[in-house]
Structure 1
Amino acid sequence: MAQLWGGRFTGSINELAWDFNASITFDKRFLEVDVKGSKAHATMLAKQGIISEDEKDQIVKGLDSILEDVKAGKLEITTKYEDIHSFLEANLIDRIGDAGKKVHTGRSRNDQVALDMRLYARNEIEHTAELLKKTLEVLNGIMESNIDTYMPGFTHLQKAQPVTLAHHVGAYFEMFKRDLLRMKDIRNRMNYCPLGAGALAGTTYPLDREYTAELLDFYGPTLNSMDSVSDRDYLIEYLSALSTIMMHLSRFSEEIIIWNSNEYRFVTIDDAYSTGSSIMPQKKNPDIAELVRGKTGRVYGDLMSLLTTMKGIPLAYNKDMQEDKEAAFDAIDTVDNCLTLFTDMLRTLKFNKDNMEKSAMMGFTNATDAADYLVKKGLPFRDAHSVIGRLVLACIDKNCAIDDLSLEELKTFSDLFEEDIYDAISLKTCVEKRLTIGAPSSTSIEKVIKLNNDFLASFSIS
């Protein structure tokens, strides 16, 4: 058992307690950031004259060699070590001798692991942002190709008013755009370096924390050593944002599942993102969309786990906080996989435009516009609402759309109907006369698409 402590102990730890306490099985993914942080720390120690330049060079070279050997499969990270920090330090000492024993000068595992988690989270936030940007690019591409693809808009899962596929998909663009902006916001708020905080009260060594922060591309050092080692707010914010991403993915997945059903047939999912049935040969199931929807609860659980872990912890560091890692890793991995697969599924999705348009026509989505037509002819809105309500009821009995009725039939409901009613309630007119920004007309959508392109071209996470 390789550990960074023990001088104060006369007995050995219980084997089960060792396994329970150890984190090497999951914090080994910190290897690269731990090497990066240790190299920066050693560089700062040499600058401050706390270790020599030669010792710093030995440490940096030794750390690089360990990382290279692990990546090449020449060195294995095993449960012989308590955590990734003890693995690195023990192997460094084996390789370079006494100089390796100085790498931990002016540093505690508390600020070391706090640094590793920040570096790791920052990398993952940037990766999540990249995936979100790809999703947004696909969504904007769908919008560009479907400005004139008419479909029903829904409220309460009931057909409401005609919109376009570009308009509908544009709603999800706005959702994922907010998700992307949250990544930037979280990164900016957490981008401060905890290294140098020590266990909780700093150190008597003349560290240059500003220099360490600069080496690691942080804005500067954290300003309270106790908060530095016990803060996990940025992880909670990140997991909260990941949960919101999953909520958006789940909503869109639900719609794709509905649209893929035999009753709607709005979309055809590519074979690469569908599965069949073991007994029913006709089935083509939207399993990827269903799994994305299902995994949303898993990410919510990771967030609740971390919130619950942190809720009763007094200052400063407590071992409970080791529980942050598995929850964070699981949420990050799950969202990365879901975003990647969902975006690829979306990119290959075939939209059945004729079915969408027919559904809009048969769902009385133009009823509001028919009422507005009568209002413009002088009828009070409440009376117009009643007339169109009775007209829709008659159409339901006849199994037809409003547009299918003859002018003579329409006049039995109101003498105000004229030949121009048909143009007034066509899907194209219903959509195109809604010209305000954010509405479904082609003029409005084209403006939004340009704004979307400008946003994607100019966005930077840092």
Structure 2
Amino acid sequence: MTEGRLWGARFEDAPDAAAWRLGRSVESDHRLWAEDLAGSRAHADELARVGLLEPADHAAILSGLEAIAGELAEGRFPWQDTDEDLHGAIERRLIELRGDAGGRLRAGRSRNDQIAADLRAWCVEAASRLIGRLRVLQAALVDQAEEHVATLCPGYTHLQRAQPTTLAQHLLAHAWGLDRDAQRLADARGRMLAASPLGAGALAGSTLGLDPARYAEALGYDGVAANAMDAVADRDFAVELVSAGATLAVHVSRLAEEIVLWASQEFGWARVGDAFSTGSSIMPQKRNPDVAELARGKTGRVIGDVVALLTTLKALPLTYNRDLQEDKPPVFDAVDSLELVLPAMSGTVRSLEFDRDRMAASAGGGAALATDLAEALVGGGWPFRAAHEQIGELVTALEQQGRTLDDADPDEIAERLGHLDAEAVAELLDAAKAAQRRDISLGPAPEQVRAQLAALRQRLEGAHD
């Protein structure tokens, strides 16, 4: 009696206990029960269509599968230690509930095409869930940006102040990265739906007249895999999901890192809400941006999931190999991690309270407007090389005196340069006007930022991804 095993009659000895523990996958693949049952319903219908199931057996199988679905959904399914995997457990239970009819369902299919279909269908839904969650985070960034179209802040390169920009422009940079993540996940989902693997059997289909196109139609696929061997061996869809998830995690991590910096006393740009902060077990005064730190930390885990999955796949001969039992844990872990992180980061972003005055005070500080001076000289006919050197020498001379451009009087700068008057210099060293001067489609000028906001709002409101 093999019970929850789908093989065994050709063996004289039962599996060794250690080998059984190694090969048993119920603890992982039980998560695919809804997808497995959907495929089983479609298979029962196809067996009935070709005359391999009598109407009574067909009805018994479908009602048995419905009963099993209820047990699994409510946590009442009677798992047994002899269940090797999800497929075996469901067949064992179906036979318990419906007798010999349950033993007819396996005709014409293999665990190879079954698990490929189950995991693919799960990845389709996971991609949709991740898109929905990242859109919520994207909306939080857009809402914050809308409040800060005119809020000045420094832009950075190398974590050194570079040029003035606006907080809205900065926040929308993160929102656009998330938009690409949504596109990547939607693209991956489209390829998942393009190729149903059911009907491939172990690797060459069956001789029973089953129609792969009918499975595809019943389960909502757009088409059928072109090659049975590829259908059961392919895990590109899982790699694409986890890879897109890793890129998404990196984008979230970059945002999280900036929140950690902004909330520090050294920056003092933002305060994270109480609900998204934690304290210290020893230091009463501490207010830590732990949600952002945890989001940053989870990214390494998701990247590791990509590496784990690719390493499992890298040297597998066609078609199915038992190594593929290890394809599911990294997929589940990556999606689970992101589904934890995204809502928490959405709340964190919405909770941020920004110190507009502090940010504005540092926007044009130091030599942040040096480029504006150089470009003004270029506008007067100077070669940029000469203008760059002239302003660089001015910045150095001021530094040697312990001063910066914003400390110097416009008359002094005009005198040193000899090509700009004091009034022009004063306007060039105004951070707000510097942002307004950058009036190009992708720049920080208020009207351009409002155009970005409108474009993102349109994407969010019309998103059907």
**TM-score of the aligned structures, taking structure 1 as reference length:** 0.95
**What secondary structure is seen at the aligned counterpart in 1 of 2:139?**
helix
* Counterpart residue number, 1:446: 450
> Structure 1: how far apart are the matches of 2:255 and 2:80?
42
* Counterpart residue number, 1:166: 168
Q: Does 1:117 align with 2:119?
A: yes
> Structure 2: how far apart are the matches of 1:190 and 1:75?
30
Stretch moving more, 350-359 or 48-57: 48-57
- Residue 41 of structure 1 and its aligned partner are, at CA, apart by 1.1
> Structure 2: how far apart are the matches of 1:222 and 1:375?
60
> Structure 1: how far apart are the matches of 2:429 and 2:99?
84
CA deviations on 1:104-148 (whole Å, 9 max, x unpaired) are: 111111111111111111111111111121122112212222111
Q: How big is the alpha-carbon RMSD for the aligned residues of Structure 1 and Structure 2? A: 1.8
* Counterpart residue number, 1:152: 154
* Counterpart residue number, 1:52: 54
CA deviations on 1:146-174 (whole Å, 9 max, x unpaired) are: 11111101111111111111111121122
Q: Does 1:305 align with 2:305?
A: no
* Counterpart residue number, 2:366: 363
Structure 2 unmatched ranges of 5 or more: none
* Counterpart residue number, 2:196: 193
CA gap of 1:284–1:78, structure 2 versus 1, over 3 A, is farther
2:337 to 329, 334, 338: 334
Alpha carbons 1:66, 1:92 under 8 Å: kept: yes
> Structure 1: how far apart are the matches of 2:58 and 2:347?
46
Stretch moving more, 185-194 or 418-427: 418-427
- Residue 352 of structure 1 and its aligned partner are, at CA, apart by 1.6
> Structure 1: how far apart are the matches of 2:414 and 2:306?
60
* Counterpart residue number, 1:243: 246
CA gap of 1:407–1:139, structure 2 versus 1, over 3 A, is closer
Alpha carbons 1:46, 1:56 under 8 Å: kept: yes
* Counterpart residue number, 1:428: 432
CA gap of 1:235–1:358, structure 2 versus 1, over 3 A, is same
Alpha carbons 1:407, 1:418 under 8 Å: kept: yes
Identity %: 40
**What secondary structure is seen at the aligned counterpart in 2 of 1:408?**
helix
CA gap of 1:382–1:72, structure 2 versus 1, over 3 A, is closer
- Residue 283 of structure 1 and its aligned partner are, at CA, apart by 1.6
Structure 2 counterparts to residues 44-193 of structure 1, below 5 A:
44-191=46-193, 192-193=195-196
> Structure 2: how far apart are the matches of 1:33 and 1:282?
50
* Counterpart residue number, 1:277: 280
* Counterpart residue number, 1:287: 290
> Structure 2: how far apart are the matches of 1:375 and 1:459?
44
Stretch moving more, 411-420 or 429-438: 411-420
**TM-score of the aligned structures, taking structure 2 as reference length:** 0.95
**What secondary structure is seen at the aligned counterpart in 1 of 2:155?**
strand
- Residue 19 of structure 1 and its aligned partner are, at CA, apart by 0.9
- Residue 40 of structure 1 and its aligned partner are, at CA, apart by 1.3
Alpha carbons 2:261, 2:267 under 8 Å: kept: yes
> Structure 2: how far apart are the matches of 1:15 and 1:381?
76
Alpha carbons 2:414, 2:425 under 8 Å: kept: no
Alpha carbons 1:374, 1:417 under 8 Å: kept: no
- Residue 404 of structure 1 and its aligned partner are, at CA, apart by 4.4
CA gap of 1:78–1:350, structure 2 versus 1, over 3 A, is farther
**What secondary structure is seen at the aligned counterpart in 1 of 2:52?**
coil
* Counterpart residue number, 1:458: 462
> Structure 2: how far apart are the matches of 1:89 and 1:331?
29
**What secondary structure is seen at the aligned counterpart in 2 of 1:364?**
coil
1:29 to 16, 28, 31: 31
> Structure 2: how far apart are the matches of 1:450 and 1:92?
54
Stretch moving more, 370-379 or 30-39: 370-379
Stretch moving more, 262-271 or 362-371: 362-371
**What secondary structure is seen at the aligned counterpart in 2 of 1:264?**
coil
Corresponding residue pairs, total: 461
Alpha carbons 1:151, 1:356 under 8 Å: kept: yes
> Structure 1: how far apart are the matches of 2:313 and 2:255?
32
> Structure 2: how far apart are the matches of 1:304 and 1:70?
32
Alpha carbons 2:140, 2:350 under 8 Å: kept: yes
> Structure 2: how far apart are the matches of 1:146 and 1:407?
29
* Counterpart residue number, 2:234: 231
> Structure 2: how far apart are the matches of 1:202 and 1:131?
38
CA gap of 1:407–1:120, structure 2 versus 1, over 3 A, is closer
1:210 to 213, 220, 228: 213
- Residue 323 of structure 1 and its aligned partner are, at CA, apart by 0.6
Structure 1 unmatched ranges of 5 or more: none
> Structure 1: how far apart are the matches of 2:99 and 2:384?
88
CA deviations on 1:298-347 (whole Å, 9 max, x unpaired) are: 11111111111111111110101111011111111112211221122112
- Residue 407 of structure 1 and its aligned partner are, at CA, apart by 3.6
- Residue 409 of structure 1 and its aligned partner are, at CA, apart by 2.5
- Residue 399 of structure 1 and its aligned partner are, at CA, apart by 5.9
> Structure 2: how far apart are the matches of 1:444 and 1:107?
58
CA deviations on 1:345-373 (whole Å, 9 max, x unpaired) are: 11211122111111112232212112223
> Structure 2: how far apart are the matches of 1:73 and 1:310?
33
- Residue 176 of structure 1 and its aligned partner are, at CA, apart by 0.9
> Structure 2: how far apart are the matches of 1:190 and 1:402?
57
Aligned-partner residue type, residue 185 of structure 1 = D
CA deviations on 1:220-255 (whole Å, 9 max, x unpaired) are: 221211111111011111111111111111111111
CA gap of 1:111–1:379, structure 2 versus 1, over 3 A, is closer
Aligned-partner residue type, residue 236 of structure 1 = V
> Structure 2: how far apart are the matches of 1:95 and 1:378?
89
* Counterpart residue number, 1:351: 354
**What secondary structure is seen at the aligned counterpart in 1 of 2:53?**
coil
**What secondary structure is seen at the aligned counterpart in 2 of 1:362?**
coil
> Structure 1: how far apart are the matches of 2:381 and 2:321?
73
Aligned-partner residue type, residue 177 of structure 1 = D
